[in-house]
Amino acid sequence: MRDHITDGYTALTEKEKQTLRLIVRGHDAKSTARHLGLSVHTINERLRDARRKLAVSSSREAARLLLEREGAAPYSVGDKQIGEALLGEAVGQQSSPENGGGAKRPAWIIAGVALMSLILALAAIASMPQAMQAPADNTSSATARTAEVEAAARQFLMLIDQGKWEESYALTTASFQKLNTSKVWAEVSEQARPPLGALVSRTMISHDDVPTPPHGYEVVKFRTTFANKANAIEKVSLEREGNGWRVAGVTIE
């Protein structure tokens, strides 16, 4: 890597790196600010300073250079991330939102690109009985959607629990597979998942629609206990692809 890139990386603050890691995951300044509990102005200042230090004009390019640099100097075992450029090692680490106070870090980050489109269609109301029926229909639709997304997330996590890396890779999005080979996925998964031990319990605690550009994605969160780690939080990001839901990223904290 060029010397000025190395110097620029060294000059980056941890907060600037944290912001760039979110940018490469598909966030823009607005959604990054919301994720970290900060103002858009603060995020734009961080991105501006990062671009200046790395001598690039694009925040996406700055994020790409960060991933390349961290791929050459991976974090310690337990802080894993797959990003761009088909990295053979874990390459990233993301802090918790700053307004949370502590510096709690995820134990395992598998980052993909979230590109799931959510379109809400509103039918014309022709009569009062139809209007009264709509809320019940919407609730039923939302419940069915949550069940469908949860089932897809559980199927993916079950394959990871069983060490079936190729099968779980097959359930990821096209954009994720474009950034990561099955070999990279298997290597990082083998380092990150087995140390947690066997699954003891897994309970879904939330399902959110995250409106990040360009189309948003669904995030299902589980409270999970493993043999070697109690009360872990698993977050699976999914997007609609074809006739089903595919995984864009997973985090275990």
pLDDT digits (tens, 9 = 90+) for 36-71: 888 999 999 999 999 998 888 888 888 888 877 765
Give residue 81's pLDDT: 37
Q: In what order do the strands lie in the sheet with 244-252?
A: 108-110, 244-252, 229-241, 217-226, 199-210
Neighbours of 133 (CB within 10 A): 12
Whether 58 contacts 50, CB under 8 Å:
no
Give residue 144's pLDDT: 83
Give residue 26's pLDDT: 74
162's enclosing H/E stretch is: none
Kindly give the parts of the chain with pLDDT less than 70: 1-6, 70-139, 211-216
Pairing of strands 217-226, 199-210: antiparallel
State how far the alpha carbon of 223 is from the alpha carbons of 36, 57, 109, 175, 201, in Å: 22, 41, 16, 27, 8
Closest listed residue to residue 249, CA positions, set 166, 148, 168:
168
Entry pTM: 0.51
Give residue 5's pLDDT: 62
Closest listed residue to residue 205, CA positions, set 223, 189, 217:
223
Intra-chain end-to-end CA distance of the chain, in Å? 31
- Structure-token pair, residue 68: 């390349």
Give residue 159's pLDDT: 95
Give residue 37's pLDDT: 86
Q: Which residue has the tokens 């809400």?
A: 120
Neighbours of 113 (CB within 10 A): 21
State how far the alpha carbon of 142 is from the alpha carbons of 46, 131, 139, 209, in Å: 37, 17, 5, 11
Give residue 24's pLDDT: 75
Give residue 119's pLDDT: 30
